[in-house]
């Protein structure tokens, strides 16, 4: 398990990274924290001609608040996000998800942008930013553009980012008053990728659910918004009945993939269990607020 031969370039500026990407396109891989890329290289699942190391690009790291949104630079390490008071205050959903993202050692190197760019279907952060309606900024020599999270995730490890584009930052709207969050996942061991999971941002007064974003991960090929489950409860008083309705409607939103952990039916069952629990928790939090 040793990586194939390739050329390595350490970018000293964003401009240089973009120029290299423009020149090599598909043949290049951006190296951020390397926590996902290095294993795939070593197992020779990807064989790029060029590796562009962006770890020296300090400009791409950092967390700040601008215009009611939190800006997280692509190169911000998971550990920095987990420790950030800004994230704790304005993005409690992400703060709650962070301890589920791998282990301390991996979080010390792994980056927020790497997680979004990779789009692992079982990853927590893509689901969270979709639930929160984030915007992703990418840049190439052709220019900068913003992509809504809802348009970004296209399929299994597939995104709207073009091969010559570098992921620059993610802007995530601050949580508004009247909104509650909840996050749950099931995994085999502490720190593993989930076998089922849901990120929830709900507008509720603790009685009626006005609106909600329920984003499921680990069962579909990408983080998936459950419109039907939400429709089953929106505008209704939260009750055993609406919980059952949401759980039942989920089969119209999800079409789980089976894997080593279990069948599609098993995955759907787990997502249903989480649906009831995550909404119960959201309601409870709204009542406590």
Partner 1 sequence: MANSEDKGFGVGAALPRKEDKRLLRGKGMYVADVDIPGTLDVAFLRSAHAHGRLGGIEIPEGMEDRVYTAADLTRVNPVRVEPSVPGFKPADHHPLATDKVRFAGECIAACLGANRAEAEDLADALIADIEELPALHDPVAAREDPPALLHEEWGDNVYVQLDISGGDIDSVRDAPIVVTRDYRMNRQSIAPLEPRAVLAHWDARAEELVVYLSTQIPHLMRTGLSQMLNLPSHQLRIIAPDVGGGFGGKARLMPEEIVVCAIALDTGKPVRWLEDRREHLMAAPQAREHIYRVTAYADSDGIIQGIDAELTVNAGAYALWHSGPFMETGMAARNLTGPYHIENMRCRTWTVATNKPPLGVYRGVARPGACFAIERTIDAVARAVGRDPLDVRMANMVPAEQMPYEAVGGMKFDNGDYPESVRRAAEMVGYDDIRAQQGGTAVDGRVWGVGLSSYTEQTAHGAAEWTRRGSPIIPGYESATARINPDGTLVLLVGIHSHGQGMETTLAQVAHEELSIHPDAITVKFGDTAISPFGFGTFASRSMVMSGGAVSNACIVLREKLAAIAAHHLQCTTEQVRFADGEAQSDGGSIPIAELARIAHLRQDGLPDGVDPTLDATATYEPDESTGVFSYATHAAVVAVDPHSGAVELVDYAVVEDCGNVVNPMIVDGQIVGGVAQGIGTALYEESVYDTNGQPLSTTFADYLLPGATEIPDIKIGHMVTPATFTRFGLKGMGEGGAIAPPAAIGNALSDAFAAIGAEFNETPYTPRRVLDALERAPKA
Ligand X SMILES: Cc1cc2nc3c(=O)[nH]c(=O)nc-3n(C[C@H](O)[C@H](O)[C@H](O)COP(=O)(O)OP(=O)(O)OC[C@H]3O[C@@H](n4cnc5c(N)ncnc54)[C@H](O)[C@@H]3O)c2cc1C
Rounded distance between C-alpha atoms, residue 205 and residue 283, angstroms: 8
Nearer to ligand X, 155 or 235 (CB): 155
Kindly give, in sequence order, each residue whose CB lies less than 8 Å from that of residue 238, ignoring residues fewer than 6 positions away: 204, 207, 208, 209, 279, 283
Quick check: 30 binds ligand X (CB under 6 A)? yes
Nearer to partner 1, 192 or 221 (CB): 192
> Sheet holding 50-53: strands in order across?
7-10, 50-53, 28-31
**Of 70, 129, 167, 270, which one interacts with ligand X (CB under 6 A)?**
167
CA atoms within 13 A on the CB side of 162: 15
Quote the crossing angle between the two packed helices 264-288 and 240-253, to the nearest 10°: 140
Residue 275 contacts which entry, ligand X, partner 1, none (Cβ below 5-8 A, type-dependent): none
Quick check: 73 binds ligand X (CB under 6 A)? no
Site string for ligand X, 125-144 (x = CB under 6 A): x-------------------
Over 207-245, what HEC string results? CEEEEEEEEEECCCCCCEECHHHHHCCCCEECCHHHHHH
Nearer to partner 1, 67 or 190 (CB): 190
Q: Can you list the positions of beta strands (E) in the chain? A: 7-10, 28-31, 50-53, 63-66, 69-73, 135-140, 143-148, 153-155, 158-159, 166-173, 179-186, 196-204, 208-217, 224-225, 236-237
Quick check: 123 binds ligand X (CB under 6 A)? yes
> What minimum distance in Å lies between the beta carbon of 274 and partner 1?
8
Site string for ligand X, 229-268 (x = CB under 6 A): ----------------------------------------
**Of 166, 196, 198, 247, which one interacts with ligand X (CB under 6 A)?**
166
Residue 190 contacts which entry, ligand X, partner 1, none (Cβ below 5-8 A, type-dependent): partner 1
Quick check: 34 binds ligand X (CB under 6 A)? yes
> What minimum distance in Å lies between the beta carbon of 5 and ligand X?
18
Stretch that binds ligand X, among 7-15, 23-31, 257-265, 277-285 (CB under 6 A): 23-31
Query: Which residue stretches of 33-136 are H helix?
Result: 37-42, 78-83, 85-90, 92-97, 104-109, 112-118, 124-131
Binding site for partner 1 (CB under 8 A): 1-5, 39, 43-44, 186, 188-193, 195-196, 260-263, 266, 269-270, 273
Rounded distance between C-alpha atoms, residue 286 and residue 267, angstroms: 28
**Of 91, 117, 172, 214, which one interacts with ligand X (CB under 6 A)?**
117
Residues of this chain that interact with ligand X (CB under 6 A) are 29-37, 54, 74, 101-102, 106, 110-111, 113-115, 117-118, 120, 123-125, 166-167, 191-193
């Amino acid at each position: 398990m040793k990586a194939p031969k390739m050329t390595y370039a350490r970018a000293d500026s964003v401009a240089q990274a973009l120029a290299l990407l423009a020149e090599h396109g598909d043949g290049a891989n951006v190296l951020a924290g390397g926590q996902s890329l290095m294993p795939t290289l070593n197992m020779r699942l990807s064989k790029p001609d060029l590796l562009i190391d962006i770890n020296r690009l300090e400009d791409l790291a950092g967390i700040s608040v601008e215009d009611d949104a939190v800006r997280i630079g692509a190169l911000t390490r998971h550990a920095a996000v987990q420790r950030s008071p800004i994230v704790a205050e304005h993005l409690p959903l992400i703060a709650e998800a962070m301890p589920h993202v791998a282990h301390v050692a991996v979080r010390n190197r792994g980056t927020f942008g790497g997680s979004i760019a990779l789009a692992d279907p079982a990853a927590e952060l893509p689901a969270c930013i979709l639930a929160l309606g984030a915007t992703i900024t990418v840049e190439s020599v052709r220019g900068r553009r913003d992509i809504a999270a809802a348009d970004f995730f296209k399929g299994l490890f597939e995104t709207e980012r073009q091969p010559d584009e570098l992921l620059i930052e993610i802007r995530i709207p601050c949580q508004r008053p009247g909104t509650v969050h909840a996050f749950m996942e099931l995994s085999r061991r502490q720190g593993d990728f989930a076998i089922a999971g849901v990120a929830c941002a709900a507008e509720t007064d603790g009685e009626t659910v006005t609106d909600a974003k329920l984003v499921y991960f680990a069962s579909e090929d990408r983080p998936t918004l459950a419109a039907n489950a939400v429709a089953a409860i929106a505008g209704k008083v939260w009750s055993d009945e609406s919980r059952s309705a949401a759980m039942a409607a989920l089969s119209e939103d999800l079409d789980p993939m089976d894997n080593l952990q279990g069948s599609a039916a098993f995955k759907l069952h787990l997502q249903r269990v989480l649906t009831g629990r995550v909404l119960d928790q959201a309601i409870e939090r709204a009542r406590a607020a």
